[in-house]
Structure 1
Amino acid sequence: MGLLSNKISKEELQVGDHIYSWRPCYSYAHHGIYIGDNKVINFTARAGGEEGMRGILNNLLISSLPQKSFQHCSECSQNMENTNGVVVSCLDCFFHGRPIHRFEYGVDTKTFLAQARGGTCTFAHADPIEDVLHRALFLWENGFGGYHLFSNNCEDFAIYCKTGLLLTSQSMGGRSGQIATNFLTIPLSVSSIYLAGLPTAVGIYCVSRYLKDLGIRRDVIKVPVEDLAINLGWSRSSITNDQT
């Protein structure tokens, strides 16, 4: 991996990789877990809608929906009918002909800050491949809850598969680095730069993005995939109070 880019070749792909593809104008990236045999498990916006995120914002940011100009292969088109939103796609349909990027885990501070755009790396460490595949395959069968752009999206899905980490609160936003970054661009607005100066604005952005990373935050717990539905309120069972 380069300091400024996570771009890799198809030959470099490894089973269990968290991979992503930038959509037009780098507005958003779609994330998934590579399971081998040219297949990617990914979470789409077909699971319960986006809870009020329809309209312009939906069209600009949600990359999980197929583009009108792109035709999925017959197998992937059939897989897209999975109502729980977690689907298996071939590499060609997942990337839409765009370059392959690999999300990096356990990066150092220099690498994290150099990759100023969120949704490319994290301080959090990835689990063994067998754990990653177990979570991804389990969620393919059982779903990942309702898709929500800000709190339960494709990047959240891939990060959970890689780490098993779940937030205990949403006070600082969700797991998704790219969504956090989009909100953190506010300090870099023209008015902020004019009032505070460019170095101050950039400093605020870097510190905020650093503190929001899943590998730094204290409000995270390790949750077995079998218990995920209970912890996120997808099942009727009540959450136990003895978690630490």
Structure 2
Amino acid sequence: MAETTALKDAGTGGKPDRAVIRDALGVGVAVGLSGFAFGVTSAGSGLTLWQTCALSLLVFTGASQFALVGALAGGGSPFTAAAGAFFLGVRNAFYGLRLSQVLALPRAVRPFAAQWVIDETAAVALAQPTRRTARIGFWVTGLTLYVLWNLTTLLGALGAEAIGDTDAWGLDAAGPAVFLALLAPMLKTGTERAAAGLAVLLGLGLLPVLPAGVPVLLAALAAPLVLWAEGRRRGQGAGR
């Protein structure tokens, strides 16, 4: 009942539209500018200008894009690189399940909205008190981020040759750094922190001994392993 009231289409006492737009623009601009780092990294890994821009236009999920080009640059097979990017992007499907209830968009609009279901649009939309402001936050964040991300991807790819060695500039680490900065505040429970920590250990520990892209796939096992351990711990506690 409380959730229904909070997500009603209209009502008094909600967050002003101007404040929602301001917050959404802030997120869109801040994250959208990091597309430059992706453009440089992608072009530096051997992808053409058109391939780089197509990834941002069609895939449009930063972590998956960086995982893909990173694996390719490290000598991984296209299949392994694509598989790692896919598993990182699966989280967007879960965002979509929640956002479909919160936004309640018309059926004809949903296929277009699905392209913008990512970490940032989900975070802004789900933080709003009403359905109206959730829709505003989603669309403004999505539009701002999509335009800026693709524009800066193009600029980064065009400037890759002028910059030279992207590794020397450290731009290959910019994308993962942005992703970690967005992820860190979301780790609020001990279980979430344990899963993230184990994933890092698996990914870094297996990196020297496995082909590029494979450690990312195996790092995905961290979540079910931590959940299994947590369930067993609680079961033993209940048995006592």
TM-score by length of 1: 0.25
Report the structure number with the largest CA radius of gyration. 2
User: Which one has the bigger helix percentage?
Assistant: 2
Q: Which has the higher contact order (CA 8 A, sep 6+)?
A: 2
User: Which one has the bigger strand percentage?
Assistant: 1
